[in-house]
Structure 1
Amino acid sequence: MKHIIIKQLDKRGAKTNFFLKKHKLSKAGFYGTIAGQRKDRKTINALKEEGLFDCLIEEFGDFFKEFEILETER
C-alpha cells in the first residue's frame, strides 16, 4: 500500500529521489515521517512548502497536529 504523499508525488510526475535531492532530505527521515514513525522537521517543512502537509494530516491525524498549529500561529 502506497502512502498518500507518494501517490501525490506520482500524480505530479515527481520521483521520490528528485524530491529528496531538491529539499536535501535523508531517505530515513523522509520515509520515517511519511510512515508516521518519526517527526523530521526538515521533511515536514519540505512537505509544507510543496503543499503536501495536508496529506500527512489526512493519513495520520493527531500525530502531526502540533506542526499544523505552529504553522497557523505565524
Structure 2
Amino acid sequence: MTSKSISITTDVYELLDKYRMKNESFSQAIKRLLQSKTNLMELAGSWKKIPEVDPAIEVIEEVVKKIHEDESEEIKLI
C-alpha cells in the first residue's frame, strides 16, 4: 500500500494520539474516526425520551453556573 505525508499541527497530533486505541496506527485511527457511523442529527432529541434527564440537566446547569461564578469555591453536588 502506498502512503502519503500530511502536515498537522501539534495540537491535532496530540488529539489524534489521545483517541488512538492501543496498538492502533495513526492511519487506522484516522480511518476509524472518519468512518464513524454516528450521525449527530440522529442523536438530537434522544435525551428527551429519558425521564431522568431533566433533573440531571438541571444539576449540570447549576454546576456550570457555579463554576463560572466562582472558580475558587468548592462545589458540592449533594
Could you tell me the TM-score, scaled by structure 2's length?
A: 0.25
1 or 2, which has the higher helix percentage? 1
Structure with higher Rg: it is: 2
